Amino acid sequence: MAATPQFHIPPPIADEDFKCNHLKPLLNSPEAISDALIKYISPGRCHDWSKFSVRQGRAITKFQGQGTWNLGNPDNIEDIKKYFEIFNDAFFGGSLKGYCRLELIATPWIIRRLGIKTGGYCTRYHPGKGRDPRYQLEKPYMVITLLEHVEFFRTCHRFKVTARIEEYLICLLHEMIHALFDIYSCQCKNGCQQKTIREATPGGHNMPWQFAAKAIESVNGGRPSGTRFLLGLELDLRREGGLVGDLLLGCPMPDDETPKKLNFDNKELLDKLEDAQSDKADAERRLKRELMPSKFNACVRDECIVDGWEKSFGYASRDYDRDQHVYDEPVGDLAVERWKTRTIETEYCDEIWELWDSFDRGRAI
């Protein structure tokens, strides 16, 4: 008789474990991670600063004393790493330390890697998933990649340096939330992996991520009278845009109550989804028009070769002798006729040079 499969139920996360960075990677449920993060940063909206953890107090002190940015060179990785440490202590309890690497790359490299232009993305490497069996990771590892905004803000002159810095902070904090779930979510095959696949969204902006990002936005807002917030940077983490992007990629529409819990308006969400679908259709039509072959194009298959002595020249070897000179010309009927003409001229010139050499040698004698 076959044994009944044992489904893994991840345990809840204790407040002290998240506060003291005692979490074990690849062992928790996304819901438990989101709840633990919300509890950790919930004192950020209260009056009593004594309720902050030691790490949060250290993050506030570092933010107030060293939270400057190099305005002469805003596109630098050093300031991004500094704010990574501040955000890690303030919002994540130090849980990302030792698991992440940051990189800042230009637009062509982003497009070459992903095929699209995006402000940032997170690449995960899990143990046992490496290509080389001899070198396997012992713990999960994340690479947070941010887009260097030099070209974008150079073309849009109305954006100032402060807007570039704000864009870096938004993308950094957005990707750090992704990294937290990728590092600590359980991926075992006893039910957790199937649950992750079933509930995952194409862009990773599922409900646990949304509620965690909403909590960080709420404690990272402004400073109304009588209320103290954690850092007060007022960063918009693009939660609604992430949800619209996932819906555009095929994620099922949430129920009517979920957008309200996330402070989204259902009508605005549907309008943005309709606009995104229209923009996607326009982009596909433009791409189709660009890729459509011109009626003046001619097939050059018979003129091209891939092996033998003539592989670098682009002419059919069956029609021309190896001793003939080949010129770097476009392939086509007109080019072939021009090639033949130049070949005849070249042979005539060779005869002239041979005659001159013989005359020169005879005169020297």
Mean pLDDT is lowest, of 79-93, 176-190, 334-348, for 334-348
Say yes or no to pLDDT of 327 above 80: no
Band of pLDDT at residue 297, cut at 50, 70 and 90: low
Distance CA 329, CA 336 (A): 9
Which of left, alpha, beta for 148 (phi over 0: left; psi -120 to 50: alpha)?
A: beta
Residue 105: φ, ψ to 5°:
-130, 160
For the chain, percent of residues with pLDDT exceeding 90: 31
Tell me what pLDDT residue 224 has. 44
Give the up-direction half-sphere exposure of residue 92: CA atoms within 13 A in the CB hemisphere: 24
The position carrying tokens 């960080």 is: 216
> Other C-beta atoms within 10 Å of 104: how many?
17
| pLDDT tens-digit series, residues 145-178 | 999 876 555 545 445 788 889 999 999 999 999 9
Diameter over CA atoms, the chain: 110
- Better pLDDT: 8 or 3: 8
CB 64 within 8 A of CB 73: no
pLDDT at 215: 93
Two structure tokens written together for 102 = 């940051």
The predicted-structure confidence for 198-235, as pLDDT tens digits, reads as follows 777 788 899 999 999 999 998 887 554 334 567 888 89
Evaluate whether 149 touches 171 at the Cβ level (below 8 Å): no
The tokens for 261 are: 């819990």
102, containing H or E segment: strand 100-105
Q: Which two tokens stand for residue 151?
A: 């070209």
Mean pLDDT score of the chain: 77
- When comparing pLDDT for 289 and 174, which is higher? 174
Q: Which of these ranges, 16-30, 90-104, 127-141, 269-283, has the smallest mean pLDDT?
A: 127-141
Q: Name the band, by pLDDT with cuts 50, 70 and 90, for residue 293.
A: low
**8 A C-beta contact, residue 110 and residue 117:** yes
Give the contacts of 260 (CB within 8 A, at least 6 positions apart). Answer: 266
Could you tell me the two tokens for 175? 């990707």
Distance CA 37, CA 214 (A): 11
pLDDT for residue 92 is more than 90: yes
When mean pLDDT is compared across 75-79, 196-200, 344-348, the lowest value belongs to 344-348
- The residue with greater pLDDT, 335 or 99, is 99
| Inter-helix orientation angle 161-184/207-219, to 10° | 140
What are the tens digits of pLDDT across the range 12-56? Answer: 899 888 988 889 898 899 999 999 999 999 876 555 667 788 899
User: pLDDT grade, residue 296 (50/70/90)?
Assistant: low
Predicted model pTM:
0.75
Q: Is the pLDDT of residue 345 over 60?
A: no
pLDDT given at position 301: 57
Residue 1 has pLDDT above 50, yes or no: no
What pLDDT shows up at residue 324?
44
| pLDDT at residue 47, rounded to an integer | 53
Mean pLDDT highest for which of 70-84, 126-140, 312-326? Answer: 70-84
Between vectors from CA 78 to CA 74 and to CA 83, what angle results, nearest 5°? Answer: 90
Q: Would you say residue 107 has pLDDT above 70?
A: yes
Q: Which residues of 44-75 are buried (b: 16+ CB within 10 A; e: fewer)?
A: beeeeeeebbebbebbbebbeeebebeeeebb
What pLDDT, on the 0 to 100 scale, is given for residue 96?
96
Sign of CA dihedral 294, 296, 302, 307: negative
Q: Kindly tell me the sign of the dihedral angle through the C-alpha atoms of 146, 150, 151, 152.
A: positive
What local confidence, expressed as pLDDT, does residue 251 receive?
86
Question: Quick one: which of 103, 144, 142 has its CA closest to 126?
Answer: 142
Query: Is there a contact between 219 and 45 (Cβ–Cβ < 8 Å)?
Result: yes
Alpha helices, H only, the chain? 15-19, 30-41, 54-66, 77-91, 107-114, 150-155, 161-184, 192-199, 207-219, 239-248, 257-261, 266-291, 333-364
